[in-house]
Amino acid sequence: MGKIDSISGQDLRDMFSTATSWLEKSAADIDALNVFPVPDGDTGTNMLLTMRSSIEEAYRAPDSSASAVVQGIAHGALMGARGNSGVILSQIWRGLAQGLKNNESITAADLANALQQAATTAYNGINNPVEGTILTVIKDVAAVARAQVKRGDNDLVSMMEAVVEAASESVANTPNLLPVLRKAGVVDAGGQGLYVLLDGILRHLRGEAEQMQFRKPQIIPSNLPQPVHANRSATVLEVPYGYCTEFMLKGEKLAADAIRTKLKKKGESLIVVGDESVVRVHIHTIDPGSIIRYGTSLGTLHQVSMRNMDEQYQDFIEMQKERGPAVEIATVAVVAGDGLADVFTSLGVGAIVPGGQTMNPSTKEILQAVNSLASDKVIILPNNKNIVMTAQQVLSLTTRGIEIVPTESVPQGIAALLAFDYEADFETNVQRMSEAKSRVKTIEITRAVRPARMGKLSIKKKQVIGLLDGELLTAGNDPLDVLDKTLSKLCMDATQVVTIYYGADSSAGEAEQISERIRKQYPGLQIEVVRGGQPHYNYIVSIE
């Protein structure tokens, strides 16, 4: 991706639209972060609904200037804000809009100034700003953006790279700043949501739309070491949480500051933001009726919501009881494709790092996955020969016991997981998994990215090619024929099970055709077809 000096309003709208889609992929994961210790709705869902309202309004902007689009985003966020997190997010976009009030387009310096205004506006909208939340993340992000401009860096891509890195570090640090997060062993959910949105904007600028289809936002783990047998059961509830009460107030000559002062002693987590005609109120209170009565005395109420947080708390306690104790030995696997991710999850993998061919994860991403697990013994499955060395770098970066089972393909990784025994010790499992991965053959069917000559094979660009355990053996114009030729290179007499994982660019119907073809040729085989959803590879076939 080349340097980007400025972006238009249309670019800005597209960026936010991409970021919203990216947030949608992890909304449920963010919701899970926010249940404990104080239930307040669902952070991921609330932020997503707020963003959807923002995008709808952005498309109604009177012109395509950056100023008009961001004003639409801010107005849509205020009108559609849901929950504490949604209201704070609306204030971040309000500040951003104020900082870009007269801009036709946006430069790196413009964005840095606007992010600073976003942080200031968000802090000013909160009755008692708390560090270790989304507020801290936007503040840290703004500081890094300003530093980039001071260094003379005017490239929006490199600025956003620094911004996203700062957001990641800030989110990971939230448990250090907020005791309730440290006690729960999670990062701040709102901060995580903001990180995902900023990461989505960066990926849009880099032109990574295609890769985003097959990946999922990362949930940043706490940078605090998590105890091996972390007790996540909730403490006894001593005081009631009450009701999360929120509404939009419409009227004339409304004064947000006066409303905030009036409600200050009526509850906790008070947020009052807006202008003379529309004010958004959010508060945790034991007596929601008095809040509603006060609101109706000032104007008309809209989008009224009252949620019993004590019931949410009890639901959380029951959920924690069902989770059971942490495992002594955990596993991490590098996987590309939502279908394959489901397969690994069903086999009990502790954490998945999105990646694979052409999408090699960094050492940091693998380390973060290790740190997210409540275990001091972790087995890593790279599932690609190009990732084995990267995984090995993790050993020197953590005090946990780490072993790499050097799986070089997805079938090897699955075979290794199937051999894992929860009752066996660490060393025994590493040995069992290493032996199991060696008993599997892997066929990969993909397309050549460039012309080449490999021995007797003359390969054209985009021609179908077949690899057996990483060695290119066959080429042709039809995936079925290439798979047939590759299978013929094997001695199938000793084979018992063939599993076909079909990729994002292949259909279930074609995969079934292949299955029938193999079954006719080798009638004694057990053949399974599974949707892998992996990019680049039409088929990954496990031969056991």
Residue 493 has pLDDT above 80, yes or no: no
End position of a domain, from candidates 212, 235, 263: 212
How many C-alpha atoms does 399 have within 13 Å on its Cβ side? 5
Q: In terms of domains, do 448 and 510 share one? A: yes
pLDDT at 322 over 60: no
The stretch 486-506 carries a mean pLDDT of 85
Residue 224: per-residue pLDDT: 61
Question: Which of 163, 191, 212 is the endpoint of a domain?
Answer: 212
Q: Are strands 300-308 and 278-285 parallel, antiparallel or unpaired?
A: unpaired
Least confident of 379-393, 421-435, 484-498: 484-498
Same domain, yes or no: 201 and 247 = no
Q: Flag whether pLDDT at 326 surpasses 80.
A: no
pLDDT at 380: 95
Residue 205 CB burial class (10 angstroms; 0-12, 13-18, ≥19): buried
Q: 277, 293, 315: which is the final residue of a domain?
A: 315
Q: What percent of the chain has pLDDT over 70?
A: 90
**Looking at residue 377, which CATH number applies to its domain?**
3.40.50.510
Q: What is the CATH number of the domain that holds 501?
A: 3.30.1180.10
- The predicted pLDDT at position 169 comes to 93
Are 266 and 284 contacting, i.e. CB atoms less than 8 angstroms apart? no
In a domain, 49, yes or no: yes
Kindly report the pTM of this predicted structure. Answer: 0.57
Answer yes or no: is pLDDT of 4 > 50: yes
Q: Lowest-confidence range among 193-207, 226-240, 329-343?
A: 226-240
- Own/partner pairs for 263-266, CB < 8 Å, 24+ apart? 263/291, 263/294, 264/127, 266/290, 266/291
- pLDDT confidence band for 91 (50 / 70 / 90): very high
Q: Is the pLDDT confidence value at 225 over 80? A: no
Residues 6 or more apart in contact with residue 540 via CB below 8 angstroms? 409, 410, 411, 442, 443, 444, 445, 500, 501, 503, 532, 534
pLDDT tens column, 61-70:
988 899 999 9
Task: Give the tens place of pLDDT for each residue, 14-47.
Answer: 999 999 999 998 888 888 775 443 444 478 888 9
Tokens 């972790």 correspond to 378
Compute the distance between CA of residue 220 and CA of residue 231 in angstroms, rounded to an integer: 20
Question: Which residue would you say has higher pLDDT here, 92 or 322?
Answer: 92
- How many structural domains does the chain have? 4
One domain, residues 248 and 189: no
> Does residue 9 register a pLDDT over 60?
yes
Is 332 found in the same domain as 253?
no
Q: CB 250: neighbour CB atoms within 10 A?
A: 15
Q: Are residues 296 and 340 in the same domain?
A: no
Whether 217 is in a domain gets the answer no
DSSP helix, strand, coil percent of the chain (3-state; round to 5): 50, 20, 30
- The model's confidence at residue 407, banded by pLDDT at 50, 70 and 90, is very high
Q: Which of 101-105, 229-233, 457-461, 486-490 has the lowest mean pLDDT?
A: 229-233
Overall average pLDDT of the 508-522 stretch: 87
Question: Is residue 527, in this structure, part of any structural domain at all?
Answer: yes
Q: What is the DSSP string of 308-326?
A: EHHHHHHHHHHHHHHH-SP
Residue 218 lies in a domain: no
Higher pLDDT pick, 303 / 230? 303
Question: Which has the minimum average pLDDT: 271-285, 416-430, 447-461?
Answer: 447-461
Q: What is the CATH number of the domain that holds 254?
A: 3.30.70
The arithmetic mean of pLDDT across residues 463-491, rounded, is: 88
Residues 531 and 346 sit within 8 Å (Cβ to Cβ): no
Instruction: State whether 300 and 411 are in the same domain.
Output: no
Q: Are residues 394 and 482 in the same domain?
A: no
Q: Regarding predicted confidence, which is higher, 174 or 182?
A: 174
Tell me if 40 is assigned to some domain.
Answer: yes
* pLDDT of the residue at 269: 77
* Confidence band, pLDDT 50/70/90 cuts, at residue 319: low
pLDDT band at 238 (very low <50, low <70, confident <90, very high): very low
Segment 268-279 shows an average pLDDT of: 86
pLDDT averaged over every residue in the chain: 85
- Domain of 367 in residue numbering reads as 325-437
The mean pLDDT of 96-104, rounded to a whole number, is 93
Helix (H), strand (E) at residue 534: none
Dihedral (CA of 504, 220, 273, 147) sign: negative
| 57, 198: one domain | yes
Is 45 among the domain residues?
yes
Bridge partners (DSSP) listed for residue 380 = 332, 404
For residue 219, being part of any structural domain is answered with no
pLDDT (average), residues 78-102: 89
pLDDT value at residue 240: 54
Same domain, yes or no: 78 and 192: yes
- Are residues 196 and 248 part of one domain? no
Residue 2 has pLDDT above 70, yes or no: no
Q: How confident is the model at residue 313 (pLDDT cuts 50, 70, 90)?
A: low
- Domain membership of residue 233 (yes or no) is no
Instruction: Kindly report the CATH number assigned to the domain that includes residue 149.
Output: 1.25.40.340
Same domain, 37 and 181: yes
**Same domain, yes or no: 107 and 50:** yes
Closest CA to 12 of 73, 88, 95: 73
Q: What are phi and psi of 523, to 5 degrees?
A: -60, -20
